[in-house]
Structure 1
Amino acid sequence: MKYLLFVISVLLLAACSQNALPKTLKDPSPIQQIPASSAGLTLELEDDSFSRSPSAIEASMKNDSLKHYDYGDYFYIEVKKEDGWYILTHSDAVFIENPHLTDFGHVLLSGSRIKQSFSFDLLKVTLPAGEYRLIKTFLSKEQPFHEISLSAPFTVS
């Protein structure tokens, strides 16, 4: 009986100590260089270092341009591997359970700064130790219409 408890304890410790990366798309992200600021827009995290997987990250988004931009509650996360950045995957059920997770619905007015919380719990993603970046997309409301993606790096230790 003691032997069986010992074996189970060792297996549990081994399973808990594994530092496997979360699931990602097979190929690297098509855009490896994504800035934190572009066209007058800036994305900044309140904290960029976490001792364990955060349940949410707080960020500020600033618009110093002369244009208004649409944005939504959706965001995605990329993880740094040896050969570049990879997009983390999550279940499509996330969108059914949280229909507000879209790329539109809010306006970041010219000259404004807002705060937004990005919940990993909504995506049902747990991040092991590693380097990550949060990606946020903005859509121009005026011609010429264009999309801007910004990134904010962070680490989990």
Structure 2
Amino acid sequence: MQNESNEAYRYGSFYRVETMQDGKWYMVNYPENTFEKFPYFNDMGYTLDPKEMVTQQFSIETYGLYLPAGNYRLTKTFLSPFSAGNEITLSVPFEVIGEN
């Protein structure tokens, strides 16, 4: 992720996983105890400064997700602590081929 703006944004380690069904994106539900088992998996805790670039890794297996073959995307939200309501959503698509 690269912040090409002049404004800092806050984000966390949490990603939404979405699946494409009938031309629309729908959120994939995490197992019920995911956030209890992984309390750091949330939407806060990090700052992406202006012009900064960071890399995060996401493992579907770590969080107990089963994804059948299909089209998906990881979606992350960034919030500006300085501009009220300034939110940016970033998504990256991927495809699962065969069984996960």
Q: What TM-score, normalized to structure 2?
A: 0.89
Tell me which residue corresponds to 1:87: 27
1:67–1:141: 8 Å Cα contact kept in structure 2?
A: no
Tell me which residue corresponds to 1:103: 43
1:71–1:137: 8 Å Cα contact kept in structure 2?
A: yes
Q: Which runs of 5+ in 2 are unaligned?
A: none
- Counterpart AA for 2:7: K
1:140–1:147: 8 Å Cα contact kept in structure 2?
A: yes
Q: Alpha-carbon deviation of 1:83?
A: 4.0
Number of aligned residue pairs: give it: 97
- Equivalent-residue separation in structure 1 for 2:43 and 2:32 (angstroms): 15
Stretch of structure 1 that moved more, 140-149 or 125-134? 140-149
Does the residue aligned with 1:122 lie in a helix, a strand or coil?
Answer: coil
Of all paired residues, the percent bearing the same amino acid is: 37
Tell me which residue corresponds to 2:13: 73
Higher helix share: 1
| RMSD of aligned residue pairs (Cα, Å) | 1.2
Listed as ranges, the matches of 1:103-142 within 5 Å are 103-142=43-82
- Counterpart AA for 2:55: K
Tell me which residue corresponds to 1:156: 96
- Counterpart AA for 1:156: V
Does the residue aligned with 1:155 lie in a helix, a strand or coil?
Answer: strand
Tell me which residue corresponds to 1:21: none
Q: Alpha-carbon deviation of 1:121?
A: 2.1
Q: Alpha-carbon deviation of 1:148?
A: 1.6
Does the residue aligned with 2:34 lie in a helix, a strand or coil?
Answer: helix
- Counterpart AA for 1:72: G
1:96-137 deviations in Å (ceiling 9; x for gaps): 100101101011110011100012123210212110010001
Q: Alpha-carbon deviation of 1:92?
A: 3.1
